[in-house]
């Protein structure tokens, strides 16, 4: 069976290019490695190019070609979605070449690498805080950048993730009946997140936690804590009397009020 000529030519070119790549990879010619790595990068052969870059990056530090090499090296990790190394290498690039024409892009992509590493809200948020720090640095350094709007969007998304985590922690305290911790957590949330869409739920959660703390307290503490809960009800209703949570808040309040009256009318022992 005779193979088509086009297939034979394609196979020959492929084998030839693979052979050349292996020869350059094995030899010590830094110039050829650089040229081939750059060519592979331009056509999107990132994994093959990376092997060459890893061999030559140390040799080009401080040299004229080092700036270009370090940028494509960092961007190769980014394109391969290895965001830990991309973030690290972009950070090194901006430190080594702060005046580079590519510094703005490197700063943004470095920050976005940490954004990509930010996990779901229930996990440790170390990378989220790192991403926020780097995104804010980018916004401050390049206030007129074309990427500023996207950076602000990423910041808002990460901040909402942190808000969700903080709110869910407070809710969990309420769920496990650690009412004092719940009240403190909701208090902190309300103070720290004035514009959060969880704010209404946080006011309500604080009120419920205060009510439950009161009714589960020893008799000598009930009166004081019922009055505290009443204050939280009044605050909730001041801002959210027209919301879907208001009827349930009022129902709890009616029981709260009846308990205050009962406590006040009990004879002294």
- C-alpha to C-alpha distance for 27 and 17, rounded to whole angstroms: 15
Q: Exposed, middle or buried: residue 184 (CB in 10 Å: 0-12, 13-18, 19+)? A: middle
Closest to 226 in 3D by CA, of 205, 246, 185, 254: 254
In this prediction, residue 263 carries a pLDDT of 46
Q: What are phi and psi of 216, to 5 degrees?
A: -105, 10
Closest to 215 in 3D by CA, of 235, 229, 232: 229
For the chain, how long is the longest CA-to-CA vector?
110
In this prediction, residue 127 carries a pLDDT of 94
In this prediction, residue 10 carries a pLDDT of 40
Torsional class of 187: left (φ above 0), alpha (ψ -120 to 50), beta (otherwise)? alpha
Closest to 84 in 3D by CA, of 125, 141, 130: 130
From residue 148, alpha-carbon distances to 77, 100, 116, 153, 234 in Å are 23, 19, 17, 9, 42
In this prediction, residue 261 carries a pLDDT of 64
In this prediction, residue 14 carries a pLDDT of 43
In this prediction, residue 9 carries a pLDDT of 41
Q: Could you tell me the two tokens for 131?
A: 């991403």
In this prediction, residue 21 carries a pLDDT of 84
DSSP 190: H
Q: How remote is the C-alpha of 68 from its chain's centroid?
A: 29
CA angle 178, 180, 184 (to 5 degrees): 115
In this prediction, residue 13 carries a pLDDT of 43
Handedness of CA 49, 51, 52, 55 (dihedral sign): positive
This prediction has a pTM of 0.81
Residues in the chain with pLDDT values less than 70: 1-18, 261-269
In this prediction, residue 51 carries a pLDDT of 93
Helix (H) or strand (E) holding 107: helix 103-117
Residue with tokens 């809710």: 171
Domain ranges of the chain: 177-264
3-state SS class at 220: helix
| Helix 219-240, helix 246-265: angle, nearest 10 | 150
In this prediction, residue 186 carries a pLDDT of 98
Distance separating the N- and C-terminal Cα atoms of the chain:
109
CATH classification number, 177-264, choose in 3.40.190.10, 1.25.40.10, 1.10.3720.10, 3.10.20.600: 1.25.40.10
The answer to whether 186 and 179 have CB atoms below 8 angstroms apart is no
């Amino acid at each position: 069976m005779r193979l088509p000529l086009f297939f034979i030519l394609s196979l020959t070119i492929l084998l030839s290019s693979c052979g050349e790549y292996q020869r350059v990879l094995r030899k010590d010619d830094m110039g050829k490695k650089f040229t081939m790595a750059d060519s592979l990068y331009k056509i999107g052969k990132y994994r093959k190019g990376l092997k060459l870059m890893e061999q030559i990056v140390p040799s080009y530090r401080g040299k004229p070609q080092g700036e270009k090499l370090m940028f494509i090296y960092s961007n190769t990790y980014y394109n391969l979605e290895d965001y830990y190394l991309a973030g690290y290498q972009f950070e090194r690039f901006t430190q080594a070449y702060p005046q580079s024409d590519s510094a703005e892009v490197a700063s943004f992509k470095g920050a976005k690498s940490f954004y990509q590493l930010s996990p779901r809200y229930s996990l440790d948020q170390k990378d989220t805080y790192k991403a926020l720090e780097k995104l804010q640095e980018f916004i401050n350094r390049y206030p007129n950048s074309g990427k500023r709007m996207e950076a602000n969007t990423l910041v808002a998304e990460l901040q909402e993730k942190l808000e969700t985590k903080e709110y869910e922690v407070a809710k969990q305290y309420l769920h496990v009946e650690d009412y004092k911790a719940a009240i403190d957590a909701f208090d902190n949330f309300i103070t720290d997140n004035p514009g959060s869409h969880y704010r209404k739920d946080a006011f309500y959660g604080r009120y419920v936690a205060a009510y439950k703390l009161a009714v589960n307290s020893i008799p000598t503490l009930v009166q004081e804590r019922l009055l505290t809960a009443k204050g939280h009800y009044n605050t909730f209703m001041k801002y959210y009397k027209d919301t879907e949570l208001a009827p349930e808040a009022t129902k709890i309040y009616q029981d709260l009020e009846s308990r205050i009256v009962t406590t006040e009318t009990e004879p002294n022992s």
